[in-house]
Amino acid sequence: MLRNNKLLSSVGMLLLMAACFLMAGCQKEGQGMQLIAEGFNGSKAAVEGLNSFWVNGETVNINGVEKTVVVDGSTAYITDVAAADHYRALYPDTLNSTAALNGDDVTVLIPRTYTYRESNGRQFLGVPMAAYGTSDSRLLFKHLTAALTVEIKNIYGFTIEVDSVVVSSNSYQLSGNKGITLAESITVNPDSSEVAAADKRVKVCFNGGTSLRILSGQTRSVQVPVLPVGDDNRFTIAIGIHKVDAPEVNLVFCRTQGNSQASYALARRQMGFAGVTLGGAFSSTSTKKVIISQGNLTYVPNTGEWAFHSHQYDICEIGLIDSTTRYIASGSLPIDLFGFGTSGYNNMYPYMTSKTSTDYVAPASSLAKTNYDWGWHNAISNGGNAAGQWYTLPYQEWQYIFNTRSTITSGINGNATTRYTYATLGGERKGIIIFPDEYTHPATATVSGAVFNNCSDFTATVTYDDWAKMEAAGAVFLPAAGFRNTKNGQSVGCHQILEPVSGKYWSASSNSKSKAYRFLFYRDGALDYGTDERHFGMSVRVVKDL
């Protein structure tokens, strides 16, 4: 389920170092960042068997005294620790405000909100730990919660940043015999004072300069401390995200994790795992799914930069424009209508305007994932900035996306199979909205006059604000950018944009040395998958395999 939600915004791109937890099967002995307490008179050490990461500048409370943790490389220090027969230690020190000491017992109320923070350029989660020291003044720290690994895959066509991850379950035990005892004489009770008992959740935030940025197609993992649950493994995971170049586009993705998936009963203090996929997937065959890029391809001749349009509805030219100065090698403005196979390989340049179709020498079968493929051959600056990631679909797979695949649709078209509709965005941008295999229409987004799975005169109307919500739910828009061709009576190189209320998109397929397949949509005309001369300039929309 997707819905609009206002969340804290994150900035910057920082690699996330996952916190490691001392749980069964979580980490081998001796790994992690060692903590050394200095200041003892003699050979006594404060910590042993530590499998943890520590945050520089955090404080640990030892026998009621606040001590600062200093991180230096792989070692963390606590200085000026006095000798004592017994030690009680809590990390971070903020736990001390909720701790109760009763003889040798340390009872701690576990917090409900955690924040990733930076230490020496790495990010850590300050997970609660407690220790009860023995008579020789040695401490053994234990984590006070179990851990859930949430693996997040971004299959939107755009970069996102994660603001928060919330794990909740109706099976959380807030008190009583389900409290976990992790070490001798340490009792842990979940915190019921900060939130209502009915709100059984643990939340991890990404703010204060720490960001979990996920590029399109990328998978990142985050560790979330969770309170113990019973034998029922069901979780609900809510991930709050925003779009990097449009921070006002905030949403929450919710998923329930059930027993049938790879998770464990956290009451037994084991690691749990949940995989969450964000975005819209499109079946292009009966056995393959793809994601569609965030916009049509663009190219700037004088810099050689390839990029996706910032918005799915963006196009370079609007109207019947004589493009005599647009398609030359020294042009400083982006172009987005290309001859077939003009990736830049083998002198096949994106700005080519030759009207001889056999000059365009891409393969006569398919250019998909070859050097002639615009997306495959080039690094897309806002699409991962590396070659070999995106590629052009054969026309048969575009046919499958539009006409064949099954969809699970909720909240639009009577929940029937919904693949596409001709539409006009913001009262001006005509094109086609394509719905992913699984689509839940945002409750606050309005689509008027739509004709689904068939042609129309772009009668479906959507405001730009409502489109942003639909895009966040996984919908894709292909704008009607027209095409370019040589202008009658003019020399080679003088092109103009034709039919700006139609869309012509190259596929990867070709049937001869002079022609290639494209798909076409035009006003109330049905989708067409014929061929055109290779010298025509058309839009290119690329995909990535899941």
pLDDT tens for each residue of 340-399: 999 999 999 998 888 899 999 999 889 999 999 999 999 998 887 889 989 999 999 999
Question: What pLDDT sits at residue 176?
Answer: 32
Asked if residue 190 and residue 42 are part of one domain, the reply reads yes
Q: Kindly tell me if the per-residue pLDDT of 10 is higher than 50.
A: no
What is the predicted pLDDT for the residue at 135? 59
255's tokens = 């998923």
Do 272 and 327 have their domain in common?
A: no
Which range among 239-248, 287-296, 513-522 shows the weakest confidence by mean pLDDT? 239-248
CB 143 within 8 A of CB 128: yes
Same domain, 274 and 295: no
Domain boundary at 217, 245, 278, which?
278
Give the per-residue pLDDT at 302. 87
Among 240, 260, 278, give the residue marking a domain's end.
278
Q: Is the pLDDT of residue 263 over 70?
A: no
Q: Are residues 499 and 458 in the same domain?
A: yes
pLDDT interval class at 13 (50, 70, 90): very low
Is the pLDDT reported for residue 222 higher than 90? no
Look at residues 248, 278, 308 and tell me which one is the last residue of a structural domain.
Answer: 278
Q: Do 263 and 290 fall into the same domain?
A: no
| Domain membership of residue 178 as a residue range | 2-278
Determine the pLDDT at residue 72: 78
Residues 113 and 237 grouped into a single domain: yes
358 phi/psi in degrees, rounded to 5: -75, -5
**Is 205 in the same domain as 311?**
no
Are the C-beta atoms of 521 and 457 separated by less than 8 Å? no
Ranges of beta strands (E only) in 288-362 are 289-292, 297-300, 305-308
Question: Residue 460 pLDDT more than 70?
Answer: yes
Predicted confidence (pLDDT) at residue 330 exceeds the cutoff of 50: yes
Q: How many domains does the chain have?
A: 2
Q: Domain check: are 31 and 163 in the same one? A: yes
Q: What is the per-residue burial (b if ≥16 Cβ within 10 Å, else e) of 332-345?
A: eebbbbbbbbbbbb
Distance in angstroms (rounded) separating the CA atoms of residues 54 and 76? 7
Which range, 37-51, 128-142, 227-241, has the best average confidence (pLDDT)? 128-142
* % of the chain exceeding 70 in pLDDT: 68
Pair (323, 367) in one structural domain: yes
- pLDDT tens for 75-105 read 778 877 777 777 778 888 888 887 777 766 6
Residues 227, 110 share a domain: yes
**509 in Cβ contact with 396 (< 8 Å):** yes
List, for residues 406-425, the tens digit of each pLDDT value.
999 999 999 999 999 999 99
Return the residue matching tokens 């530590």. 50
pLDDT digits (tens, 9 = 90+) for 497-509: 665 678 999 999 9
In the predicted structure, residue 46 carries a pLDDT above the cut 80: no
Mean pLDDT of the chain: 75
Can you name the residues that pair with 430 across neighbouring β-strands?
Answer: 424
| Domain match, 266 and 303 both | no
Residues 314 and 273 in one domain: no
pLDDT for 264 beyond 50: no
Report pTM.
0.68
For 126-184, how does the pLDDT look when each residue is reduced to its tens digit (9 = 90+)?
777 887 766 566 677 777 776 677 888 888 878 888 888 887 765 544 333 333 444 44
